[in-house]
């Protein structure tokens, strides 16, 4: 199974981002854009990749223990922007503020430490965590953009659960299924 651990978004946050994207979409015609489905929007914390069935128990244990240790994290999206900054754009994402990335970075570190303790094999990233939702991917990069921010946002909410997700790759893009949820304190 191809797995990852994520925080899924409340429907009202998806609705507001979707309304902003409806206004921005006419600007996103170059680069052969592929728009992510609103139903699939989530914050990925840790990508686990292909995992054998026997890894599921240890993964669930690590998620459950981590969720029990953290109060519901406050998340705030501050903009819809091209990414990466200062380079040709490859995608558009809803970017969380620095405080959100810091809080979720601490959560991610604790979660991954537990996964390691449970002997789950995965690739651990060694860069600072940047909380975002991928909204659009471009087949070709876009250069010379005068403004990287497409829309300012202020969308705070409390995350309710830490979720184990499965990703099934299909010809028209990935299909996601929520396998298990664990509530934060």
Q: Six-digit token pair at 54?
A: 């026997």
What is the predicted pLDDT for the residue at 146? Answer: 62
For residue 4, the tally of other CB atoms under 10 A from its CB is 19
Rounded Cα–Cα distance for residues 117 and 62 (Å) = 9
**pTM, two decimal places:** 0.92
Rounded Cα–Cα distance for residues 168 and 44 (Å) = 15
b/e 158-167 (16+ beta carbons within 10 angstroms → b): ebbbbbbbbb
Give the up-direction half-sphere exposure of residue 141: CA atoms within 13 A in the CB hemisphere.
Answer: 10
What is the predicted pLDDT for the residue at 36? Answer: 92
Looking at the structure, give the CATH architecture of the domain made up of residues 2-183. Answer: Alpha-Beta Complex (3.90)
* 10-residue mean pLDDT series, the chain (185 residues): 97 96 90 91 97 97 97 96 86 96 97 98 93 93 79 95 94 88 96
Contact 125, 11 (CB under 8 A): no
Give domain limits for the chain: 2-183
For residue 55, the tally of other CB atoms under 10 A from its CB is 19
For residue 182, the tally of other CB atoms under 10 A from its CB is 18
DSSP for 44-97, please give it: EEEEEEE--GGGHHHHHHHHHHHHHHS---EEEEEEEEEESTTS-EEEEEEEEP
What is the predicted pLDDT for the residue at 93? Answer: 94
Q: Six-digit token pair at 141?
A: 């990069």
């Amino acid at each position: 199974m191809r797995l990852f651990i994520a925080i899924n978004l409340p429907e009202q946050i998806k609705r507001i981002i979707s309304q902003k994207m409806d206004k921005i979409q006419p600007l996103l015609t170059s680069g052969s854009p592929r728009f992510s489905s609103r139903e699939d929007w989530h914050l990925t914390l840790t990508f686990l990749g292909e995992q054998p069935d026997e890894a599921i128990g240890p993964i669930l244990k690590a998620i459950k223990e981590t969720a029990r240790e953290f109060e519901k994290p406050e998340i705030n999206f501050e903009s819809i922007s091209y990414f990466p900054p200062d380079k040709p754009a490859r995608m558009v994402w809803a970017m969380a503020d620095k405080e959100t990335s810091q809080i979720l970075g601490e959560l991610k570190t604790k979660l991954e430490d537990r996964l390691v303790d449970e002997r789950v094999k995965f690739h651990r990233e060694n860069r600072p965590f940047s909380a975002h939702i991928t909204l659009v991917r471009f087949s070709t990069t876009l250069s010379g953009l005068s403004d990287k921010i497409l829309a300012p946002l202020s969308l705070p909410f409390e995350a309710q659960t830490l979720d184990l997700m499965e990703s099934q790759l299909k010809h028209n893009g990935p299909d996601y299924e929520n396998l298990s949820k664990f509530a934060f304190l």
